[in-house]
Amino acid sequence: MRWQLHFVSVKETSKLMVIDFSASWCGPCKLMEPPLTAMADKFSDVDELPDVAQEFGVQAMPTFVLLKKGKEVDRVVGAKKDELQKKIDFEYHASCYLNSQFVHFH
């Protein structure tokens, strides 16, 4: 329910939402924590919401789903921080919008 309310509130905006699906037992997820924290610090909002991986068909950890206007625009599977940063930069600059949002699912 919390996820749905959150999702509805941002899906009509052009704001880029980056969803991080990770797990405490996942080694590659732990490797991604420092760069994700650095990226999230640049942007306005960070939330932790559980139980959404199935909705997005997440089959591996970590998985990062990039959404705009409620639609998936890209996805990165694995601890690929450079690829994730490039995709965020591309979507961020493509929209010319200053706010992005990180949502963490553990």
Label residue 1 by pLDDT band (50, 70, 90): low
Q: Residue 86: which pLDDT band, with cuts at 50, 70 and 90?
A: very high
Stronger pLDDT, 27 or 51, i.e. the higher one: 27
16: confidence class by pLDDT, cuts 50, 70, 90: confident
Looking at CATH, the fold of the domain delimited by 2-105 is given as Glutaredoxin (3.40.30)
Q: Tokens 């998985």 label which residue? A: 63
- Going by pLDDT thresholds of 50, 70 and 90, the confidence category of residue 92 is confident
Catalytic residues: 26, 29
What integer is the mean pLDDT of 70-81? Answer: 93
